[in-house]
Amino acid sequence: MLTLFHGTRRTEFPRHAGLCLAESREIAWDYAVGASDPDALDEGALRIYRIVLDDDLLSWDRLPPWDRDNQIAPADRDPAALAADLGVCSVWYADESPRQRAHDTLRLLTPDALDAIVSVEVVS
pLDDT > 70? residue 37: no
pLDDT tens-digit series, residues 69-106: 777 888 888 999 999 999 999 999 999 998 889 999 99
CB 52 within 8 A of CB 117: yes
CB 97 within 8 A of CB 48: no
Residue 65 pLDDT: 85
Q: Which pTM value belongs to this model?
A: 0.90
Taking the CA of residue 69 as centre, how many other CA atoms within 13 Å lie in the half-sphere pointing to its CB? 1
pLDDT > 70? residue 40: no
Number of domains present in the structure of the chain: 1
Residue 72 pLDDT: 80
Domain of 58?
2-122
Alpha-carbon Rg for the chain, nearest whole angstrom, is 14
Query: Cα separation of 22 and 89, whole Å?
Result: 17
Confidence bin at 3 (pLDDT 50/70/90): very high
Q: What number of other Cβ atoms are within 10 A of residue 97's Cβ?
A: 19
Q: Collapse the DSSP code of 116 into the 3-class scheme (helix H, G, I; strand E, B; otherwise coil) and give the result.
A: coil
Residue 41 pLDDT: 60
